[in-house]
Amino acid sequence: MSRTQYLNKERRINVFWVSGFLTLLEGIQGNYKGKSATWIRSMIISMQAFLDCELKGIDDKERRTIINLIDQFEPRLVPRNNLTKAETMQADPEDVWDLAEYAMEYCDKCPGNFDNCRLRELSLRLSIPPLVETGPCQYWRESCRLDTNVAVPDRLKLAK
């Protein structure tokens, strides 16, 4: 099969996605050690090889254009919206996360049934960042107990 002189739309998009993800991996590789670091390095090498393969043999002007366009694209994670209009509301994600963290930090009635915890399920569905990296639950803080002397931030108080 002969090599194409120009990349079609789908192949260009793939080059932009892979380039963006490659940039992301190169930026975070220092945060990992051991097997995770090895796999990230392997992905980086594979992505570089894929890009070399895709850009090899195409028209020089086409290659320069694609390389110049790469920096103008950024891959993003966009959650699918499976809710109806009636089920949605507008909220600042930071406020939702603050409220969730407040609820988790001061929860004093955790029975330790982490597999059936409704707060944990809700937090996972809302993509609330974990509070800890180890333990029986990513939101578990054994030392957190309800302290009645702790002031509730004004933004978390219910309207009267």
Q: What is the pLDDT of residue 5?
A: 83
Q: Report pLDDT digits (tens) over 109-125.
A: 667 777 787 777 777 77
Higher pLDDT: 13 or 108? It is: 13
HEC letters along 13-68: HHHHHHHHHHHHHHHHHHHCCHHHHHHHHHHHHHHHHHHHHHHCCCCHHHHHHHHH
* pLDDT tens digits along 76-120: 777 776 666 666 667 787 877 777 766 766 565 667 777 787 777
- Quickly state the pLDDT bin for 149 (edges 50, 70, 90): very low
Q: What is the pTM of this model?
A: 0.54
Average pLDDT over residues 122-145: 69
- In the chain, domain spans: 9-70, 85-156
pLDDT at res. 115: 78
